[in-house]
Amino acid sequence: MKTHLVCCILSAVAVVTACGNQNGKQAAGNGMPVFLDDSKTMDERVEDALSRMTLEEKVTVLHAQSKFSSAGVPRLGLPEVWMSDGPHGIRPEVLWDKWEQAGWTSDSCTAFPALTALSATWNPEMSRLYGKSIGEEARYRKKDVLLGPGVNINRTPLNGRSFEYFGEDPYLTSRMVVPYVQGVQGNGVAACVKHFALNNQETNRFTTDVNVDDRTLYEIYLPAFKAAVQEGGAWAIMGSYNLYKGQWNCHNQYLLNDILKKEWGFDGVVVSDWGGTHDTKEAVENGLDMEFGTWTDGLKSMASNSYDSYYLANPYLEGLKSGKYDMQTLDDKVRRVLRLMYRTNMDKNRPYGSFASPEHAAAARKIGDEAIVLLKNEGVLPIKDAKKILVVGENAIKMMTVGGGSSSLKVKKEYSPLEGIKERFKDADVEYERGYIGDVGGEYNGVSTGQDLSESRFAEQLLKDAVTAAKNAEYVIFIGGLNKSDHQDAEGADRLSYSLPYSQDTVIEALASVAPKLVVVNISGNAVAMPWADMVPAIIQDWYLGSEAGHSLADVLSGDVNPSGKLPFTIGATLDDYPIKTAEQYPGVPGEEKRLGTNMATIMNETYSEGIFVGYRWFDKEKITPVFPFGHGLSYTTFEIGEPSMVGSAERGITFKVSVKNTGSVAGAETVELYISDAECSVERPEKELKGFAKVFLEPGETKVAEITIDKSALSFFDAGKHAWVAEKGDFQALFGTSSRDICRTVKFTY
């Protein structure tokens, strides 16, 4: 079996020199070939390397040679490119041609909180720490490309992969993705931002053809990708499985060539999602640069090497030789791959990285601490001087780092909520009852949790035992929600219901009837129905927090950490509260048949007829009261937001200054959220849109001034007819609050 070997660049110098200078190229003045000379610009080195490559070598670097690597050019000392799934941790090694584990004993990583949790911090500095830390882990494991982060918008709470994304708002997602990308790439590892674009569901993800107007595309679904490219400087973008305008998005003319490469000036590589390439001609002409995952079941193509049969392999090579495809397009793709190499594994100043370190565990815990959202608290939290605590719920003990799809991890250690609570409240009598039977499995792609979650009691007895124990407890902490099994928070299939699975609502309501100090901790990657919200005195929105999950939850429950997380999505009462109402909107209706690999598949036509009204925009438009609004999150202290002041102009930029005072007795943080409202416009606009935020940390009694600056872009909408952003003259309002529904200050201004 082949092993993960990266060519040694320095030793390759002698090989290149011995081969002579091809195509009449002269060596650099110091005797070193230009493409290996660090004193030359990247463009000079790329062009020199390109000129030395044969046609076969150029094609070779455009497609996979194994599950997670593409070939280099050993003759020239150009290294292989190695990739790894993220975005929450570095995936364990798999075999060269198969998904099965390679059996390494040194690939147990740090699991960081899921990206929805990161978004809930509303703190770009946490995102930078996250990117830096996971980038160090990727670098140590000799990965050149990290397949993440994901920035698709939560259009429906049923999306099984929402936990991998940043929530429902394009502005919040944009502000959080930029420092993540910069943090990763500071380690000489490319962030591969995914899934470009309109990949907002798992059901029918290979066959959904999205119909969406340009205004909605540009205002809701593209901003985070654009920010990652133009502000974050992302070196790689991954196409998505679905279709748009009748073309698969891994080779889509409008998305990849017209928008990404031409309009945005993206100079990195476009990587296919694994199995997302379907045609050589489209792949060549419509923007794909590197192909992965085609025929992923080994030698199905009956070729001696299945990778040579990829669409961008021998079929492309033969087309080039016959004159079917032009050399200019080929060279553009190869330049992008070479540029990726020079930015990653050809950079001699690249850091070495670190792996599963105490510093990374501390970073995961810090991010998790700041991500947890206190949704409701009627004097129950924080827990102080408790004598007897009952913990109920399967999610208190179930490992959550294994499963869920490609983000599944093998971790060095995962602290469960029950472990964290027992460790923190060691002076209390902490008991546990399961309460319900959920998912007793614990294996994904050969990684096993090692947990025995089998249960001999029936559901009725589990409920009875939990209620009996709750009657004798001082505090009851129910820890439930979703998990990483199919049709929950998992890749490949969406949720089947907005409600909690496994009859958890019944358990919570029964506990509420006997436990006056009940805390419900919901672990999920998206909104869930909470019909018991009025019955429960304290509710926490927890997340998949990775290795330090139990510690972070205990930190907040105990008050060692004052919660400061804010919801990155809206929690409605029922699924009917959300804008998706028809089969045409989701999951799509059958259309034409199209070839998918070696088979024919029915394409599902889906229309985003809700347009720009996603998340809180829809709730505002329809005057629907959410259970908990976008941006909501409580604290163990209280804050006072002062009157904002304004300097500057909308044309040149406005800076708002807002005083924030901690009026309570506990140190804490508040996030000031700025929404812009355009009451009169030639097009329909949302009631308000998030356009700025600032998180302020304050000691008791302390006052600080939060500054938020906006420019004309905050006032603009996308005019599809002009294909341009337009800010119309008139009156606007700057709305300041602590959630989309808690607006406490307003400033009027004119543009």
Supply the pLDDT for residue 32: 79
Residue 14 has pLDDT above 80, yes or no: no
CA proximity to 470, closest of 435, 498, 442, 445: 435
What digits encode the pLDDT tens for the residues 251-262? 999 999 999 999
Strand partners, 670: 696
DSSP conformation letters of 240-264? -SSEETTEEGGG-IIIIIIIIIIIS
Nearest to 146 by CA among 135, 157, 133: 135
pLDDT at 595 (0 to 100): 81
Mean pLDDT is lowest, of 93-102, 210-219, 425-434, 721-730, for 93-102
Q: How many CB atoms are closer than 10 A to CB 24?
A: 6
Answer whether residue 6 shows pLDDT above 60.
no
Q: 263-295 pLDDT, tens per residue?
A: 999 999 999 999 999 999 999 999 999 999 987
Task: Express each pLDDT in 142-155 by its tens digit.
Answer: 999 999 999 999 99
**Is the omega angle on the peptide bond into residue 723 within 30 degrees of 0, that is, cis?**
no
If residue 646 lies in a helix (H) or strand (E), which one and from where to where? strand 645-649
Confidence (pLDDT) at 98 = 84
How many other CB atoms sit within 10 Å of the CB of residue 10?
A: 10
DSSP states along 111-167: PPPPHHHHHHT--HHHHHHHHHHHHHHHHHTT-SEEE--B----SSTT-TTGGGS--
Q: Examine the pLDDT at 8 and tell me if it is beyond 50.
A: no
Average pLDDT value over all residues in the chain? 94
Q: Report pLDDT for 5.
A: 37
Per-residue model confidence as pLDDT tens digits over 164-199: 999 999 999 999 999 999 999 999 999 999 999 999
At how many degrees (to 10) do helices 42-52 and 327-343 cross?
130
Q: Band the pLDDT of 436: cuts 50, 70, 90.
A: very high
439: left (phi over 0), alpha (psi -120 to 50) or beta: beta
Average pLDDT score over residue span 708-715: 96
Q: Is the pLDDT of residue 1 over 50?
A: no
Helix (H, G, I), strand (E, B) or coil at 556: helix
Whether residue 276 contacts residue 240, with contact meaning beta carbons closer than 8 Å, is answered with: yes
- Give residue 594's pLDDT: 86
Tokens representing 21?
């200078």
DSSP per-residue string spanning 422-462? HHHTTTSEEEEE--S------EETTEE--------S-HHHH
Separation CA 497–CA 173 (nearest Å): 26
How many residues in the chain? 751
| Tokens of residue 524, six digits | 């999920």
- Model confidence at 30: pLDDT above 80: no
Please write the tens of the pLDDT for every residue from 548-579: 999 999 999 999 999 999 999 999 999 999 99
Which residue among 273, 439, 620, 678 is the active-site one?
Answer: 273
Q: Mean of the pLDDT values across residues 690-698?
A: 98
Residues 6+ apart with CB under 8 A from 647: 654, 655, 657
Local confidence band at 304 (pLDDT 50, 70, 90 cut-offs): low
Q: What strand order describes the sheet that includes 190-196?
A: 69-70, 81-85, 145-147, 190-196, 236-239, 269-271
Q: Taking the domains of the chain in order of start, what are their residue ranges?
A: 637-750
* pLDDT value of position 22: 42
The string of pLDDT tens digits covering residues 444-487 is: 988 999 999 999 999 999 999 999 999 999 999 999 999 999 99
273 is catalytic: yes
Contact assessment for residue 117 and residue 47, using Cβ atoms and an 8 Å cutoff: no
* In the predicted structure, residue 421 carries a pLDDT above the cut 50: yes
pLDDT of amino acid 600: 87
CA atoms of 479 and 518, how far apart (whole Å): 11
Q: How far apart are CA 184 and CA 133, in angstroms?
A: 8
The CATH number assigned to the domain with range 637-750 reads: 2.60.40.10
Average pLDDT estimate for 573-592: 97
pLDDT at 18: 35
How many whole angstroms separate alpha carbon 613 and alpha carbon 155?
9
End-to-end CA distance of the chain: 66
Task: Give the tens place of pLDDT for each residue, 197-225.
Answer: 999 999 999 999 999 999 999 999 999 99
Reported pTM: 0.94
- Residue 303 confidence class, pLDDT cut points 50, 70, 90: low
Pairing state of beta strands 731-739 and 724-726?
A: unpaired
What secondary structure, in 3-state letters, does 418-433 show? HHHHHHHCCCCEEEEE
Distances in Å between the Cα of 728 and the Cα atoms of 678, 716, 751 are 9, 7, 8
Q: What is the residue type of 546?
A: G
Burial 708-731 (b: 16+ CB within 10 A, else e): bebbbebbbbbbeeeeeeebbeee
Q: Say if residue 407's pLDDT is above 50.
A: yes
- Amino acid type, 680: E
**Phi, psi (rounded to 5 degrees) for 451:** -85, 140
Q: Mean of the pLDDT values across residues 15-28? A: 42
Q: Which H or E run contains 669? A: strand 668-677
Q: Max alpha carbon distance in the chain (Å)?
A: 87
pLDDT tens digits, one per residue of 73-105: 999 999 999 999 989 999 999 999 888 899 999
Residue 99 is predicted with a pLDDT of 86
Residue 580 has pLDDT above 90, yes or no: yes
